[in-house]
Amino acid sequence: MPDFSAIDYQTFKINGVYRQGGDGALMVRAKLPGGLFSAPQAEALCSVAEDFGGGKLHLTCRGNIEVHGLRGEQLPTVQRRYQAVGLTTRGACGGAVRGVACALDGGESSARIQLLVRRLHAHFTGNPHFEGLPKKFKLAVENGYCGARHLCQDLAMVYLGRDAGRDLCDVWVAGGLGRQPREGFLLAGRVPFERLIPLVEGVIRVYMQHAPAGKRLKHLLTDIGEAEFRALLARETDGTTPCPVASPFDDALGELACPGTRGWIAVPVPAGRLAAADLRRIATIAATNGDGWLAVSRDQDVLVSVAADSDGAALREALQNAGLLRPGTGLRCRVCPGSAVCPKGLVPTRELAAQLNECFPDSGRDLEWAVCGCSNSCSGPQLADIGIVGARKATGGRPALFDLYRRTGEGFGTAVATGLTLEELLTAVGQLLHPVTKECCQQVEP
């Protein structure tokens, strides 16, 4: 039996394990393809959260699920339970190709996007040729151009639809948020599915060979420029052969076999903080009244797939009767865990999100919000209509400080005010929502 107190958990990051602080607590992240998971997988996640994580789960805005507060000696049991239902944590953290994020919409486009996501997930997860990267590498598949998410990925594929029987994507690269945000650029247009995996492989190889340790692809582009990057990529992809994504089976049955093609019913999860008992109830209803499939949305809610032979009425009614669908659930606000569990978090993000909901329940309801505990921008504050970033921790009598972002165009949001106290932040947000009159809100210091 290993001495778990002596293990260097930094080496475990590639397996989805992060240290949360000096007390030995760990976070384990399950890597879900496009946010999709089944009812049996939900049961495994719930059992781990209840036995080892205080009965709570955290849903991320990239479609993954985390359990916090675990101990090293519990990891073998966690891995056995996950593996028994086909869940993986490999590559969910560390220098690897992370989980593939995607927009989950209904219809034929969703079926083709999910097909691509599954292929990418299977191809890169645990593939030793594409691990040990200088830093994380984020992939996403977008259903057309809506918002700026294609601009913030290391590599994003924007699905354009089918033309003459071929699925086509635009490919964008070298985007990222964090302390040095950089909008990605269009690498190639109208790329057919069968050319995508060789192209993605080529981009990752250029990144592996030329980026310094600890740096993202966006930093490499800053150093060498687009022209040199394209030249390196051309050498890496010269002579590569197509890699089929779809098969005749997928072409014939894909939409009928794909979760969510008849639509999804969203179960709101404020700040992505979900009780395992609630997820178990949702999963039971999904298996009984739906098709047994669920997903984590980019707004950190749980989506339940409507069965192919149903209009979803019975599913919705069952969720309502269980008290899981509540009207007027508040602002659409993405939230990272913040200082509650993340050692990098400077502010209590969940409490701030709750206060924003209390202060601006009506005026902010039609907007997209994001609150992030530090400048790493894990919740994507520059992608929201209103984004808030923790800038300083409250210590030694000094108050916490925040930066405020506003997005109005097609690119990233920009900072409209920095270094604000909580009271100043709430006033500034009120002025954004009501430019003529100031919004007042009682201050509750985090």
Amino acid (one-letter) located at 379: S
Instruction: With residue 76 as reference, give the H or E element that holds it.
Output: helix 75-84
Q: Is residue 446 part of a domain?
A: no
Q: Is residue 100 part of a domain?
A: no
**pLDDT value, residue 434:** 87
Rounded to 10°, the helix 248-257/108-124 angle is 120
Mapped onto helix, strand or coil, the DSSP state of residue 165 is coil
Q: Do both 312 and 395 map to the same domain?
A: no
User: Are the CB atoms for 20 and 57 separated by under 8 Å?
Assistant: no
Kindly state whether residues 110 and 243 are assigned to the same domain: yes
**Span 141-166, pLDDT tens digits:** 999 998 899 999 999 999 999 999 89
User: Helix count (H) and strand count (E) of the chain?
Assistant: 10, 19
Per-residue pLDDT for 436 more than 60?
Answer: no
Pair 205, 295 in one domain: no
Is 133 domain-assigned? yes
Whether 257 maps to a domain, the answer reads no
Strands 26-30 and 401-406: unpaired
CATH of the domain at 378: 3.30.413.10
Task: Tell me: do 404 and 422 sit in the same domain.
Answer: yes
Is residue 441 assigned to a domain? no
Residues 109 and 212 in one domain: yes
Say whether pLDDT at 233 is over 50.
yes
In a domain, 445, yes or no: no
Q: Domain containing 72 — which CATH number?
A: 3.90.480.10
Number of domains in the chain: 3
179 vs 82, 154, 182, 420, CA distance in Å? 34, 15, 10, 18
**pTM for the full model?**
0.94
Alpha helices (H) in 176-312, listed in sequence order: 196-210, 217-237, 248-257, 276-289
pLDDT in tens, 94-121: 999 999 999 888 667 899 999 999 999 9
Contact between 110 and 93 under an 8 Å Cβ cutoff? The reply is no
| Cα dihedral: 411, 415, 416, 418 (round 10) | 170
Confidence of residue 256 (pLDDT cuts 50, 70, 90): confident
Instruction: Check whether residue 136 and residue 237 sit in a common domain.
Output: yes
Residues 241, 312, single domain; the answer is no
Could you tell me if 112 and 220 lie in one domain?
yes
Residue 406 has pLDDT above 50, yes or no: yes
End residue of a domain, out of 203, 220, 248: 248
Q: Look at phi and psi of residue 373 and say left if phi exceeds 0, alpha if psi is from -120 to 50, else beta.
A: alpha
Name the packing angle between helices 313-321 and 276-289 (round to 10°): 150
Boundaries of domain holding 231: 105-248
CA distance 243 to 246: 9
Same domain, 206 and 119: yes
Q: What's the mean pLDDT in 185-197?
A: 98
Residue among 263, 133, 261 nearest 200 (CA): 133
Domain boundary among 248, 277, 306: 248
Q: What percent of the chain has pLDDT over 90?
A: 84
Express each pLDDT in 278-329 by its tens digit. Answer: 999 999 999 999 999 999 999 999 999 999 888 999 999 999 999 999 776 6
pLDDT tens, residue by residue, 340-350: 989 899 999 99
In a domain, 256, yes or no: no
One domain, residues 417 and 303: no
Nearest to 303 by CA among 36, 83, 85: 36
**Residue 148 counted as domain residue:** yes
- Same domain for 236 and 267? no
**Same domain as 346, residue 293:** no
